[in-house]
Structure 1
Amino acid sequence: MGPTVVNGLPAHVLLVHGVVVLVPLTALAVVVCAVWPAGARRLGLLLPALGFVTLASVPLTTHAGEWLEAHVGSDPLVRRHADLGDGLLPWAVGLFLFSAAVWWMARRQTVGAGDSSAAWVASAPVRVAAVLLSLAVATGSVVDVYRIGDSGAKAAWHDSLSQTTQQHGK
């Protein structure tokens, strides 16, 4: 499905940086554009494209993580990290769907300015619902990325860090 090793390193440790940046960035963009439709119009197709790239990065990273999990010793912390990581895809799908919906609503408001069939898109209840749902999906996705990252850091470093300073070749 995607790379598992890059320059001799497990691809997961490289790809995860993209997810850690893209999910919060997309979440922020979706909420800002839901609150400020002019921002969505200015971003144009960049908003749903960002949502799509974020969505695509999650299964690539998960696949590389599953490969890595199979190549490290059995560890409950690694298992917990993998279990949490499996739960990010629905949040990424939600971010993509909301990025497309917010873009479409902002575009529809502009294109259908004189069209009464587009009036429902600009109605206050629809806008409030879009803002609240976008905020919920954005918050959930960022919290999930934090939890996954925290568990991954614990899995990677739990037995590698010394409590005392180490002397190196003096």
Structure 2
Amino acid sequence: MSLVNGLPAHILLVHFVVVLVPLTALALVACAIWPRAARRMGVVLPVLALVTLVSVPLTTQAGEWLEGHVAGNALVHRHAELGDGLLPWAGGLFLLSAAVWWATGRTAGSGSGASGTTRRSGVPVRVAAAVLSLAVAAGAVVDVYRIGDSGAKAAWQDGFAKTASGGGDDH
């Protein structure tokens, strides 16, 4: 994928990643911490994470095409390097989302008739899932920020004047 309506596809696809990664991270953490939220979201959680996972390589492939069609510099190269590191984070979001969804579905069947011992034995697993989800979610969001920051610097470096040119209305 190279161009969409005359614009580089990367410029359009990146908006999906910038929205979907933090949204998926937030949903994962909420579902890992609150099983009730996971039950309410149901299969939407892993489907959202799958869409996020698929959007990352589409965006990076479009970015590689764009990198080949712009004047290369250190900022563009750094942005491309950082972008290549997002896929493992997105994969982690997907795997954990699928695991939280699966585990919530398995425990939902036990209902209120489950013994206190069964519920207590699941607490360490839930705590571990919540901690791991928090770590992966934070890593993914921080990585998206770093990639976006480097992309903005690469795109806008020397691309604007620090003072108004006087041609527009700045009131």
TM-score normalised to the size of structure 1? 0.92
Distance 1:121 1:46, change over 3 A: farther
Question: Aligned-pair distance for 1:164?
Answer: 1.8
- 1:150 maps to a residue whose letter is D
CA distance in 1, matches of 2:125, 2:114: 17
The answer to whether residue 64 in structure 2 is matched with residue 66 in structure 1 is: yes
- SS at structure 1 position matched to 2:77: helix
CA distance in 1, matches of 2:68, 2:82: 16
User: What is the CA deviation profile of residues 102-156 of structure 1, one whole-angstrom value per residue up to 9, with x for unaligned ones?
Assistant: 111111101245689xx48961110110000000000000000000000000000
Name which of 31, 38, 43 aligns with 2:36. Answer: 38
In the TM superposition, 1:126-165 aligns within 5 A as: 126-165=125-164
CA distance in 1, matches of 2:106, 2:120: 7
CA distance in 2, matches of 1:99, 1:121: 22
Tell me, which stretches of 5 or more residues in structure 2 are unaligned? none
CA distance in 2, matches of 1:169, 1:130: 53
Contact 1:120 1:126 in 2 (8 A): no
Using the TM superposition, name which of 72-81 and 121-130 deviates more: 121-130
Give the number of aligned pairs.
166
Tell me, which stretches of 5 or more residues in structure 1 are unaligned? none
RMSD (Å), alpha carbons: 1.9
Any runs of at least 4 consecutive aligned residues in structure 1 with deviations exceeding 2 A, and if so which?
111-116, 119-122, 167-170
In the TM superposition, 1:1-170 aligns within 5 A as: 3-113=1-111, 119=118, 123-168=122-167
- 1:93 maps to a residue whose letter is G
